[in-house]
Amino acid sequence: MLGALQVKLVGIGLACLLALAVSTGKGAAQATDSEKEIERYREMISDPMSNPGFLNVDRGEALWKLARGTKNVSLEQCDLGEGAGKLDGAYAKLPRYFKDADKVMDVEQRLAWCMQNLQGLDTKDVFARRFGAPGRTSDMEDLVAFIANKSSGMKLATPVQHAKEQEMYAVGKAMFFRRGGTWDFACSTCHSEDGKRIRLQGLPNLSKPDKQVQETMGSWPTYRVSQSQVRTMQHRLWDCYRQMRWPSPDYLSDGLTALTVYLNKNAEGAQIQVPSIKR
């Protein structure tokens, strides 16, 4: 038989477990409620007349048609994979292999290539403003918003057929699971299991083809309310590495493109709805 002290200790233990269960239940309920409210907020401002991201779309269209560089031409003859100047559906099939550059490129890499080779543009200032900030617009974010919006409603279909596309997919997969940095983190640390969250924010599982990765990858570029800026996948991945305490990846690096190939392939068939709105 249990002594009085043992009974008391067992009672305290049961009380603690009950309190923890109630607390966990409340936390889960609060997280669910918060996610519902966040989703309701997104729906309220998803209309083009309410979404600030469509200002970037408009600026991007103007930049696409603007003649500049030493050749004084616009980007309207830039081939994003569907033919010179053809935008409908082009973003849905990026990154992809480009024969003229003999490499796999994402949308920002390809834009930079067209600026330099088609327009003869000095991209130093463009790269300096690669990420927008209060009082400073980004040509790249504006152009990506405009180009990506031309694929809205279409299905994500990043090709992995050419040998170099297959190589990029393999590199991207390896990068996704590669641990490093001062915290020994990898993308998979946060994004390879179902049901994970940080504080009240759900963390989608991006390691396997399903609805979670489709909803994630089909929603970039996005307007970040917390930053008051449209952000591209280049920025999202750069910021992820910053948060993992890795060395900052170079802008337009092949590594980020490889990671995008891997994620987009997992999200194949996702409906693109951009620019979206996120917290």
Query: What residues are labeled active site?
Result: 240
Q: Alpha carbon 7 to chain centroid distance? A: 54
d(CA 59, CA 61): 5
With CA atoms as reference, report the closest residue to 185 among 198, 194, 195: 198
Mark 116-152 as b/e (b = at least 16 C-beta within 10 Å): eebbebebeebeebbbbeeeebbbbbbbbbbbbbbbb
Contacts of 261 by beta carbon, 8 Å cutoff, 6+ apart: 95, 104, 158, 160, 165, 168, 169, 172
DSSP single-letter state for residue 195: T
d(CA 20, CA 248): 39
